[in-house]
Amino acid sequence: MEAINASIGFDRKLYPQDIAASKAHCAMLERQGIIAPDDGKAIREGLDTILREIDAGTFTFKTALEDIHMNVEARLKELIGEPAGRLHTARSRNDQVATDFRLWLRDAVDRIDAQLRALQTALIDQAEAGADLVMPGFTHLQAAQPVTLGHHLMAYVEMFGRDRGRFADARRRLNECPLGAAALAGTSFPIDREMTAKALGFDRPTANSMDSVADRDFALETLAAASISAMHLSRLGEELVLWCNDGFAFVELSDAFTTGSSIMPQKKNPDGAELVRAKAGRIVGALVTLLTVMKGLPMTYGKDMQEDKEPVFDAAATLELSLACMVGMIADMRPNAENLRAATQKGFLTATDLADWLVRVAGMPFREAHHVTGALVKKAEDRRVDLAELSLDEMQSVDSRIDASVYDVLTVESAVASRTSYGGTAPANVRAAAQAARERFL
């Protein structure tokens, strides 16, 4: 029972939040005349001593005391004696842990947001540098249309921007203070919950005492945001794995962000990207774990809810590590302009531009232009040449309305430059989008 019941092995991480919440609660009890000023002063000084001891590594955590709350309270009694017992007036471990957990998550969300911002900065920097670098854009992992590297990277800036929005939404909702809800029904003492909420930086107290102690939506929302962000990181990690592969060779990472093989001296493996890709599973698993813990619980608190913290702690640490690694890799990444350009010469990437030209200049309905373009692609395939290498006579043998101006749209540079619609890949668009992103996100 001691082994399964104790949480001090992991909830000791909450000690700064637990002590801060206890000090706020103590100050409120004193101001409301619920405890004497001398007792309040002794409690606060004792809590400060405990904080220094834990920070210094001299505090002895005891499994028999179950959790961080009882470990702190027991030490407080050793330090100041009988007044320590007054601190728990008008509160319970139920509202205490809910408060501590929200405080901890709020700090974690703030750290993650700063890291996501740093990743956006690295991506925008690389996007501006690669605004003119043409490369294949893919659908179904098949070459589809030419784009620029900058445009490709800016897609991830948007993705991580949405992640930041989700974390910000979660933070707004979690920033309510459960302290004072007590075990589940509130308290008969004349407490001031507005005071404690304000002292701890919350926007307001939670509105219902039962929901205050039963709720873990704030943790679930944060894990949901973390899971989506981890999925985005995994996708970007997969791009780096592909781009570093010799079959693509689109970018190179330095030795600082690659590893070698134990037997193959030539290997330069993008292990960081692979691990970021894999760690998404741990974060998604944490979300599933907590959803499963909570799904069958009646009101209000059950000891099942002790299982909330380990997956959240692990998911936050895993996401922060993954973000740190990805920021480093993106900043370190060196594009290979020659290989990026060479890859656009496969797959008839300007076929859509040819069809658009047939609509715009030859006046064809798009479906007819699509059919004519398909016939020209087949002719180029048979000759093993690119569309731009077909002669005008060969093109006119398919449709007589084609004239020499068609060649103006058959280079990848012209194709990319023509995509000037809002959100398109034209280099000028990429530069404007990068500047706009700096204003929106940074």
Active site residues: 140, 261
Q: Amino acid letter at 405?
A: S
Please count the other Cβ atoms lying within 10 Å of the Cβ belonging to residue 3: 7
Please count the other Cβ atoms lying within 10 Å of the Cβ belonging to residue 4: 8
Tokens 């002790």 -> residue: 306
Contacts 24+ apart (CB under 8 A), 400-404: 401/358, 401/362, 401/363, 401/364, 402/358, 402/362, 403/361
Residue (of 279, 278, 254, 248) closest to 268 by Cα position: 254
Tokens representing 188 are 């008969």
All residues at 6 or more sequence positions from 37 whose CB lies less than 8 Å from its CB, including other chains? 30
357/407 Cα distance (integer angstroms): 10
C-alpha radius of gyration, the chain, whole number:
30
Q: Are 48 and 102 in contact (CB under 8 A)?
A: no
Q: Is 297 helix (H, G, I), strand (E, B) or coil?
A: coil
Q: Residue by residue, what is the 3-state secondary structure of 335-373?
A: ECHHHHHHHCCCCCCCHHHHHHHHHHCCCCCHHHHHHHH
294/314 Cα distance (integer angstroms): 18
**Cis check: omega of the bond before 344, within 30 degrees of 0:** no
160/233 Cα distance (integer angstroms): 9
Q: Are 311 and 286 in contact (CB under 8 A)?
A: yes
DSSP letter for 298, please: P
Q: What residue ranges in 92-225 does DSSP mark as E strands?
A: 134-139, 142-148, 176-177, 204-205
Q: Are 151 and 425 in contact (CB under 8 A)?
A: yes
